[in-house]
Amino acid sequence: MKIFLDTADLAEIEQLLPTGMIDGVTTNPSLIAKSGADIKKTIATICEMVSGPVSAEVTATDVETMRKEADVLATIAPNVTVKLPLTQAGLTVCKQLSAQDVMTNVTLCFSPVQALMAAKAGASFISPFVGRLDDLGQDGMNLIRDIYDVYANYAFETEILVASIRGPQHVTDAALIGADVVTIPPKILAQLYKHPLTDKGLADFLADWDKTGQSIL
C-alpha cells in the first residue's frame, strides 16, 4: 500500500522524505491556504521534491473554468495529479483529462455509487473521506470495503486513496481491506511506527548493553 503525505508544508515534506515512506503528496485549497504560499510555486516545489503523484486541486465549480484551471495545474510538472470534486462538472472534466492521459484524483467521495461514477469517468484515484463519516457516527471503513468490492467486480483501474485518516487504526484497516493508497497528515505518519512496547524493549536492550561496557564503534 502506498502512503501519501497530506500537506502543503514544504518543511514537513523535506523532514519526512528521508524515511523512504512517502510515495506521493496530496494538497487541497485549505492546506494551501494554511501554508500561506502561492499554489503554483508550492506545487512545483513539491513535484521537484517528490517523484510520485502530487495532487493539486481546482477551485472552480463550472466545467469551463475548472478545465482551464486543470490545464494550468497539469502543466506545472509531469507528476501533477489534478484533483477534482465529485460533482457533475468534476466528472466531466475528469473524463476529458483521462482521455488525454492526465492523472486525476476525484475527491470528496462518500458513497460507493459516487466511486463508481468516478471510475467510469476514468479517474486515476478516488478519495473517500472515512474520518468525516466517522464524525457522523458511521463506520467510514465500510465505504472502503464497498468501493473495493465494486471495483473488483468490474476490474476498474482507479486506485482507492483513503483520505480523512484520523489515526493508525484507519491505516491498518485500509491495508487489510486492500486499499491502494492512504494519505495521512505528518503527525499520523509518526504514530505508525510508535508503540510503547517498542520503546520499552529498546530501553531494556540499551540498559543491558551499557552494563557490558562495550562499544561497537
Residue 217 lies in a domain: no
Range of the domain at 137: 2-212
**Looking at residue 153, what is its pLDDT?**
98
Q: Using CA atoms, how far apart are residues 83 and 123, in angstroms rounded to an integer?
A: 10
User: Of 25, 140, 3, nearest to 81 (Cα)?
Assistant: 25
Residue 16 lies in a domain: yes
User: 472502503: which residue's cell?
Assistant: 144
Residue 78 lies in a domain: yes
Residue 194 lies in a domain: yes
Q: Which CATH number fits the domain that encloses residue 160?
A: 3.20.20.70
Residue 191 lies in a domain: yes
Considering its fold, how many domains does the chain have in total?
1
**Looking at residue 98, what is its pLDDT?**
98
User: 477534482: which residue's cell?
Assistant: 84
**Looking at residue 217, what is its pLDDT?**
96
Residue 27 φ then ψ, to 5°? -130, 170
Q: Using CA atoms, how far apart are residues 154 and 168, in angstroms rounded to an integer?
A: 30
Residue 114 lies in a domain: yes
Q: Using CA atoms, how far apart are residues 51 and 47, in angstroms rounded to an integer?
A: 7
- Per-residue pLDDT tens digits for 112-162: 999 999 999 999 999 999 999 999 999 999 999 999 999 999 999 999 999
**Looking at residue 132, what is its pLDDT?**
96
Residues with catalytic function:
83
Does the model's pTM come out above 0.85?
yes
Residue 75 φ then ψ, to 5°? -85, -5
Which parts of the chain sit beneath pLDDT 50?
none
What does the block give as the cell for 61? 465549480
**Looking at residue 6, what is its pLDDT?**
98
Residue 197 lies in a domain: yes
